[in-house]
Structure 1
Amino acid sequence: SLEKKRKNITYYALDLMKHELIKSLKSLGSFSNIKLIGLWGTFEDGIDFTATLSNDKPKAIIFLGTTIGNFSREDATNFLRHFQTKAMGPGDLFLLGIDKRNSLENLTIAYNNPPIIEFHMNGLDNINTILDQPFINRNNFDYFTTYNEDKGRVEIYYRSKRDQILEYMPINEFDKKIQINVQEGELILSVHSYKYNELDLVTLFYKSNLAHVKTWTDSNLQY
């Protein structure tokens, strides 16, 4: 629709993984009036770059998914306020994706389906890739999730199936051997996913110096 309106727009896509950035931009195709530019870097890099853009044209920041939920409430506020202070001008918009606080039944179903479980268990394999050695065996851990109602967050852990020792072997002269004793049933935190009710949202926007403009949700008001 933006292309049909012949508006001259520049779309900047930010991603930490270069090949995913290239793939996602290619999937969008080409346009006559919309310029596509990839930014390879971190959130902080994105904020720094956005701060260099001219205020002559309005900006719309799009931050979808549930990424903001992986921040603590304090960190989420600090992140948005930092973005607002450093990189946004009067009239700029910030489209933010946020999960609502939902029923325990719905959260249990959402966070215990096979793709979600595999996504998080794959994190253990990535540890070995990063360390370049078989530091941790995913078969020795279960996926475990619980909802902390007081804090309004889903907590995802790796739960040890047995007593075990995680051993890191030095790969250069500056490293040293490290052994970590893990007991059966011990939990290793993977991620927190914070959910928001109306009061949480009002507090978040107020502390971030952002004014709420409009909300889009599903027909059942669950998301």
Structure 2
Amino acid sequence: MTINPVFTDATPIAAIDAERQFLDDVLAGLSAPQKFLSAKYFYDAAGSDLFEAITRQPEYYPTRTELGILDDQGAAIAATLPARANLVELGSGSTVKVRRLMVHRPDLAAYVPVDVSESFLRSEAEALARDFPNLTITPVAADFTRAFTLPEGLSEGAVAGFFPGSTIGNFEPPQATSLLAHFGRVLGPGATLIIGVDLVKDKAVLDAAYDDAAGVTAAFNRNLLTRIRNELGAEIDLDGFKHRAFFDRQASRIEMHLVSLRSQSIRLANRRIDFEAGETIHTENSYKYTVARFQALASEAGWIPTEVWTDPERLFSIHALRRP
């Protein structure tokens, strides 16, 4: 029987609540001794487009390496998914990676992409539906880091999760453990999770990957300030900040910052936030793991590591985890 694609609008994040949360988070972050902004706010429509452009830069190895693993090992990775699975992609963005699994599992019962960017979510889901016309597709507009409910009407088949792209590295290790535990609660007992994890490697390779010569990552980082100006009405000199990224080997993480080029102030919600020259806003961490360290973290979160695949240079890894 042909199953027509289904686009069910989950309850979207109310615009006023989302704006209030954005404002509260920005004010809290910029009031801290080390100013910071949450990396989840990178991904408005412009930020999502910029990130897709980052993945095409020659210095940025994670996407092409992960795609290479999915191309070479896709059948084996897809084989870890249960029969007739409902596949939930967390923070779905582009569907370019999940397609590598779908070609090996035509028996998927449903695909549930979860993303905070509603417009990008819908456009990607519609494009996927044209290529997989027999697949039920139910997009969910939600922040995957917060509690959300899977849509009603999914088949009785098992639930599996897909979390590619090394996004787990954007969380502090204790937060990453909590996030994986959260995924376990959302997906339920017996679920499978396929997750991409970036690996520790040469510092020069890492530094270049997060500060490409074309300046695309810099534009992606600075887009946070553009969002604060355009959506929250802040008074900001966008040219007063520059991008900085570097690998901290002791912490095993890339840090991204916005550096104030001079003494200046941002005005937001009737408040003045002062910056000294050289002061930074910490915008993102990207932790790099060894295979053993990530498997230990997953175990702490209640998952059982079952399989791992890497590229020949061991730049990147894809893990299969199972929930008891």
Does the alignment reach a TM-score above 0.5? Answer: yes
Q: Does the CA-based 8 Å contact 1:14-1:39 persist in structure 2? A: yes
Q: Does the CA-based 8 Å contact 1:48-1:87 persist in structure 2? A: no
The one-character-per-residue Cα deviations of 1:16-35 (angstroms, maximum 9, x if unpaired) are 12111110011113335311
CA RMSD between the two structures: 2.4
Change (3 A) 1:17 1:85: closer
Residue 187 (structure 2) pairs with residue 94 (structure 1): no
Question: How high is the TM-score relative to the length of structure 1?
Answer: 0.86
Q: Which amino acid aligns with 1:70?
A: N
Change (3 A) 1:44 1:186: closer
Kindly state the Cα deviation for residue 118 of structure 1 after the two structures are TM-superposed.
1.3
Counterpart in the other structure of 2:231: 130
Structure of higher RCO (CA pairs closer than 8 Å, 6+ residues apart): 2
Counterpart in the other structure of 1:153: 253
The one-character-per-residue Cα deviations of 1:162-218 (angstroms, maximum 9, x if unpaired) are 1112223x5xxxxxx211221111111111111111232122111011111212222
Counterpart in the other structure of 1:174: none
Residue 210 (structure 2) pairs with residue 111 (structure 1): yes
Change (3 A) 1:191 1:3: closer
Residue 182 (structure 2) pairs with residue 82 (structure 1): yes
Question: How high is the TM-score relative to the length of structure 2?
Answer: 0.60
Distance in 2 between residues matched to 1:39 and 1:140, nearest whole Å = 37
Residue 139 (structure 2) pairs with residue 38 (structure 1): yes
Q: Which amino acid aligns with 2:259?
A: R
Change (3 A) 1:215 1:82: same
Q: Does the CA-based 8 Å contact 2:129-2:137 persist in structure 1? A: no
Identity over aligned pairs, percent: 23
Gaps spanning 5+ residues in structure 1: where?
A: 171-176
Q: Does the CA-based 8 Å contact 2:110-2:155 persist in structure 1? A: no
- 1:40-59 equivalences under 5 Å are 40-44=141-145, 48-50=148-150, 56-59=156-159
Aligned length: 213
Gaps spanning 5+ residues in structure 2: where?
A: 1-100, 317-324
Q: Which amino acid aligns with 1:119?
A: F
Q: Does the CA-based 8 Å contact 2:298-2:305 persist in structure 1? A: yes
Greater Rg by CA? 1
Q: Does the CA-based 8 Å contact 1:125-1:138 persist in structure 2? A: yes
